[in-house]
Amino acid sequence: MKKCLLLLVVLCTQFMLLAQEDAWVYLKDKQNVETSLANPTTILSQKAVDRKNRHHVVIDARDVPVNESYITQLKNATGITVMAKSKWFNAVHVRGTETDIKNLTSTFSFVDHIEFANRSLNTSKKSQEKVPSKITNTLTNFNYGNAANQIEMIKGEQLHLANYTGTGMTVAVIDAGFTNVNNMAGFQRLRSSNNILGTYDFVGRDSDVYTNTTSNHGTLVLSTMAGYIENQFVGTAPDASYYLFITEDALSENPVEESYWVEAAERADSLGVDVINSSLGYTTYDNPNYSYAPSDMNGNTAYISKGAQIAFEKGILVVNSAGNSGNDSWQIVGAPADASGVFSIGAVQSNGQYASFSSRGNSTQSTQKPDVVAQGQGSAVITQNNVIANANGTSFSSPIMAGGITCLWQALPSLTNNEIMQLVRESASQYNTPDYFLGYGNPNLEIALNSGLYLMDEAVELKMYPNPASNEVFFTLSSDSLVEVYIFDILGKLVINTLLTNVSPSVDVSSLSNGVYLVKFQSSNKSKTIKLIKQ
């Protein structure tokens, strides 16, 4: 009997020694930083550089990739599996035994510090964070069918009537499987317009996001933005372009999913994405040692929340579901929706009343959470079988709102992500009396649009006529104005750049093809953008 007990103790001890832990390994430096920053298109797409310049977002060392030779050495270290990497944090997510992970600090001089997902293993004081197609007029008066209530609740249809349907805007959807999106009739319009720009599964490490059999969540989420079945269903941004990224492992809950999410956000940034929709949230894990406490939902603790905040700083508008914990003991908004720069979306019923499952804000969060709400109970979606159905969750209120905001930003391209979010907040039903259930309330995107246009009209004293125009457009300027004019096509390509003065207050547009253009005026310290129709 004693021998059996001794054997059992030995086996248990060996098991504990071999237990796998997750950790983030933060690195000390990067390679060729100055050279990369001097030549930003070597590390970012031209579209990303243009977006950052347009919104005055600084390209810095966080945009430089992780040193690949460091990653190779970590991969070859004893007992270590590299799961993910982050250029923003200059960190690598690894898995291995506690001993093997801790050995990395003494083995490699380039390792700055290590943070275990099981925070009880972080015996030292908390380290300082190293945060280093075209518009058509025939399809804008949609018959929304089953999706009418959810878009009309936020007045998103008014943006569509004004020809703002998402054209020229790019959205990254970070989610679980996008089952059958490549085949379903409900996404035929999206595919025919070549508006799926790219895909990647960060869990499986391949580009196939369509045959994931563990979850169809991404399909339902995408449908609320990009789905289209004539006279039956229209998403809130049907003409935007999309990247589809899987970061959620539906078979388990592990903090590596946070690292996958940050990788996806970094890729979205490098591709020039305008808006991220993330209908994901993280609070507790299969291994309780990795779980967060409600007090950690302060926007500054969870790895994913800190990554989402950097995405905001990089100029992306991050829209995230608040969570579905309103009815359980957790109750409050989860990560990354707790980050101050994330636009967190709660859920309401079809009548605009609070949906009881929607996660709430509280004093733990440094900013008002949720920000606003949209329909999340009885939301219309298109399933992977091309059937229109109803679904519940902030997973759907978030993309419904994200699509609407995408169209709003299309209409107000000179504004920053923060300015767009503030316009939406100010348009909401209880902006002056926000609470922890509805946040600022139910937004009115028509009001937000008009407020934004008024702001831009006030920015520069200028009028343009005629509009529509055939050959020449004329401008009235204030007496001493000197204004530079940029005319962009609907895909964002600069087609005319000239200087306006009172002596020469017109621009020849006869060479332009018929269609819709954006005319941006820039004076010494002000700017304004107007839509021009060339016919």
Active-site option among 395, 414, 427, 523: 395
Predicted confidence at residue 466, as pLDDT, reads 84
Structure confidence by residue, pLDDT tens digits, 491-516: 778 899 888 776 667 899 999 988 87
Fold of the domain spanning 150-454: Rossmann fold (3.40.50)
Predicted confidence at residue 140, as pLDDT, reads 61
Does the annotation count 175 as an active-site position? yes
Predicted confidence at residue 130, as pLDDT, reads 39
Active-site option among 63, 100, 175, 274: 175
Nearest 10 degrees: Cα torsion 297, 300, 305, 309: 140
Predicted confidence at residue 136, as pLDDT, reads 35
Backbone region of residue 281 per phi and psi (left: phi > 0; alpha: psi in -120 to 50; beta: other values): beta
What average pLDDT does range 64-68 have in this prediction? 97
Does the annotation count 93 as an active-site position? no
User: What tokens appear for 97 in the block?
Assistant: 């035994």
The rounded distance, in Å, linking the Cα atoms of 191 and 178 is 14
Is the pLDDT at 120 greater than 90? The verdict is yes
Is the pLDDT at 66 greater than 80? The verdict is yes
* Mean pLDDT, all residues of the chain: 89
Structure confidence by residue, pLDDT tens digits, 174-217: 999 999 999 999 999 999 999 999 999 999 999 999 997 789 99
What average pLDDT does range 373-395 have in this prediction? 98
Taking CA atoms, 364 is separated from 295, 297, 302, 334, 368, in Å, by 6, 7, 13, 11, 10
pLDDT band at 527 (very low <50, low <70, confident <90, very high): low
Q: Under CATH, to which class is 19-121 assigned?
A: alpha beta
Is the pLDDT at 528 greater than 80? The verdict is no
Lowest mean pLDDT among 121-130, 304-313, 506-515: 121-130
Is the pLDDT at 455 greater than 70? The verdict is no
Does the annotation count 523 as an active-site position? no
Predicted confidence at residue 128, as pLDDT, reads 40
How many helices (H) and strands (E) are present in the chain, helices listed first? 14, 22
Predicted confidence at residue 288, as pLDDT, reads 97
Please state which CATH number belongs to domain 460-534.
2.60.40.3080
pLDDT band at 361 (very low <50, low <70, confident <90, very high): very high
* % pLDDT > 90, the chain: 75
Q: Where in the chain is the domain with CATH 3.40.50.200?
A: 150-454
Is the pLDDT at 137 greater than 60? The verdict is no
The pTM is what? Answer: 0.81
What average pLDDT does range 383-393 have in this prediction? 98
Structure confidence by residue, pLDDT tens digits, 102-115: 999 999 999 999 99
The rounded distance, in Å, linking the Cα atoms of 118 and 179 is 33
* % pLDDT > 70, the chain: 88
Lowest mean pLDDT among 13-27, 180-194, 412-426: 13-27
Highest mean pLDDT among 55-59, 127-131, 165-169, 459-463: 165-169
Q: Where in the chain is the domain with CATH 2.60.40.3080?
A: 460-534
Nearest to 177 by CA among 206, 204, 217, 220: 217
The rounded distance, in Å, linking the Cα atoms of 335 and 164 is 31
Is the pLDDT at 138 greater than 70? The verdict is no
Active-site option among 55, 93, 160, 217: 217
Alpha helix ranges (H) inside 174-316 = 188-192, 217-226, 256-270, 303-313
Structure confidence by residue, pLDDT tens digits, 239-262: 999 999 999 999 999 999 999 999
Structure confidence by residue, pLDDT tens digits, 461-492: 567 778 788 888 887 766 555 678 888 886 77
pLDDT band at 54 (very low <50, low <70, confident <90, very high): confident
Q: Is the bond preceding 255 in cis, omega lying within 30 degrees of 0?
A: no
Predicted confidence at residue 3, as pLDDT, reads 44
Residue 168 burial (CB count, 10 A): 25
Letter for the amino acid at 279?
Answer: S
Is the pLDDT at 9 greater than 80? The verdict is no
